[in-house]
A and B are shown apart, each in its own frame.
Chain A
Amino acid sequence: NAGVTQTPKFRVLKTGQSMTLLCAQDMNHEYMYWYRQDPGMGLRLIHYSVGEGTTAKGEVPDGYNVSRLKKQNFLLGLESAAPSQTSVYFCASEGRTYLSTVLTFGAGSRLTVL
């Protein structure tokens, strides 16, 4: 089924460790996003990409890096994890037409930093 796939779904890290979250979409969308969701905070944009080879900062980019080497993949990296990065991370891709725009989200990645 077409959609957005995130890996891993769960991960526990120790402070200072690094990791990469992978987002893959098979809908040929140009726009891709990484959000984090925390209780009472709603969805906050970390980084986004408007096409292969391009990335831009969102609302809360500090402590994260991203890459979009291939159109279908958008990677989110944590170089040195901190407890404040404990969160649920959602990737989304966006299909745009003249009349509408639809965000399709991945199932989420739950990250705990101890």
Chain B
Amino acid sequence: RKEVEQDPGPFNVPEGATVAFNCTYSNSASQSFFWYRQDCRKEPKLLMSVYSSGNEDGRFTAQLNRASQYISLLIRDSKLSDSATYLCVVKGGGGADGLTFGKGTHLIIQP
């Protein structure tokens, strides 16, 4: 079983819709969780950390479910500019450096 798994997509979503995707992790000892956003041919950038109680940043909501070992990202009122690849990152997930990246979920917002 892979350590951090994401549905690669692509998710094709109309502008204004709500979209959600999950990331599952295998190491129950994982400590910290993050969502990064990567635009085409650009570097990944931190979108938001994921806290145990869940957290919201504008149109973005992140949730952590430790019992089922997954994190989720919800995007409301999606914009064309939300089109990107969203990377799930788990710390304490067993990687050599303690950081494990998912392969990303590709999101396409359509006008």
* Complex alpha-carbon distance, A40 and B106, angstroms: 11
Contact B97 A33 (CB under 8 A): yes
A105 touches B44 (CB 8 A): yes
A41 to B104, CA, bound (A): 10
Which residues of the other chain, A, contact B49 by a CB distance below 8 angstroms?
100
Chain B residues at the A interface, C-beta cutoff of 8 Å: 8, 32, 36, 41-46, 49, 87, 89, 91, 95-97, 99, 101-104
Point out the residues of chain B lying under 8 angstroms from A78, CB to CB. Answer: none
Other-chain residue from A42, A101, A103, A106 in contact with B103 (beta carbon distance below 8 A): A42
Tell me if A42 and B97 are in contact (CB < 8 A). no
Q: Which chain B residue lies CB-closest to A59? A: B96
Interface residues on A, range: 20 to 34
B60 to chain A minimum Cβ distance, whole angstroms, is: 16
Q: Is B43 within 8 A of A108, CB to CB?
A: yes
Question: Quick check: A45 and B46 within 8 Å, CB to CB?
Answer: no
In chain A, what residue has the closest Cβ to B46?
A102
Q: Which residues of A contact B8 (CB under 8 A)?
A: 40
A41 to B8, CA, bound (A): 11
Return the contact of B96 from the options A48, A102, A105 (Cβ within 8 A): A48
Q: Is the CB of A105 within 8 A of B45?
A: yes
Which residues from chain B contact A101 at a C-beta distance below 8 Å?
Answer: 32, 91
Apart from A31-B97, A43-B87, what are 17 other A-B pairs with CB-CB below 8 Å?
A: A33-B97, A40-B8, A40-B103, A42-B87, A42-B101, A42-B103, A43-B101, A45-B95, A45-B97, A56-B96, A57-B96, A90-B43, A90-B44, A100-B32, A101-B32, A103-B46, A105-B43
